[in-house]
């Protein structure tokens, strides 16, 4: 006897199809639900039209977001109002954070490069500070590790 598919499992398959570019075969592979069941549900509940509508709405959101950013930039340039400029900057910062979260950063290497740069600059402009930096290097490294391990 065939075990009935739970509502949650069926809903997951529906969302996978509508909210992604997966084919019914790919959704079947992802969920373990037969392609025949997915085709039947897709047909009776018009998943294809709902997917197109979802994609249209996403495109509209993207377009309106670009228009809004452009408007805010223009207002910030023309008005010099700090609140308008700040709102535009907040959007830019959020976009930058989102991009940075998607980028894989070799943090230890980046930290080491920053430390090497700091040492080179200190050696050049303040040899006494450089000696202090060198003396306390292990302490600096351990403190950095402790503070960032908690973050």
pLDDT in tens, 16-33: 999 988 999 999 999 999
In a domain, 50, yes or no: no
- Is residue 2 in a domain? no
Position 64 in a domain: yes
Structurally, the chain folds into a number of domains equal to 3
- Which of 23-58 are b and which e, b meaning 16 or more Cβ less than 10 Å from the residue's Cβ? ebeebbeebebeeebbeebbeeeebeeebeeeeeee
Verify that 70 and 38 share a domain, yes or no: no
Task: Provide the pLDDT for residue 37.
Answer: 93
75 lies in some domain: yes
Mean pLDDT of the chain: 81
Dihedral in degrees, nearest 10, Cα atoms 60, 64, 67, 73: -140
Q: Is 70 exceeded by the pLDDT of residue 145?
A: yes
Q: Are residues 80 and 111 in the same domain?
A: no
Q: Is 18 exposed, middle or buried (0-12, 13-18, 19+ CB in 10 A)?
A: buried
CB neighbourhood size of 12 (10 A): 15
Residue 123, domain member (yes or no): yes
**Greater pLDDT, 90 or 147:** 147
Its domain, for residue 66, covers 57-102
Note whether residue 51 is domain-resident. Answer: no
By the 8 A CB rule, do 111 and 119 touch? no
- Nearest partner of 40 among 75, 69, 5, 72, judged by Cα: 5
């Amino acid at each position: 006897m065939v075990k009935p598919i739970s509502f949650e499992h069926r809903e997951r398959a529906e969302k996978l199809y509508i909210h992604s570019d997966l084919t019914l075969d790919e959704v079947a592979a992802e969920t373990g639900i037969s392609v025949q069941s997915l085709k039947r549900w897709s047909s009776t509940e018009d998943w294809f039209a709902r997917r197109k509508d979802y994609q249209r709405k996403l495109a509209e959101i993207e377009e309106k977001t670009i228009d809004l950013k452009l408007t805010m930039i223009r207002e910030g340039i023309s008005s010099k109002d700090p609140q308008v400029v700040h709102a535009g900057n907040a959007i830019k910062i959020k976009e930058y954070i989102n991009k940075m979260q998607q980028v894989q950063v070799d943090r230890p290497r980046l930290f080491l490069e920053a430390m090497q740069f700091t040492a080179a600059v200190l050696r050049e402009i303040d040899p006494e500070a450089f000696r202090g930096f060198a003396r306390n290097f292990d302490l600096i490294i351990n403190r950095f590790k402790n503070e960032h391990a908690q973050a």
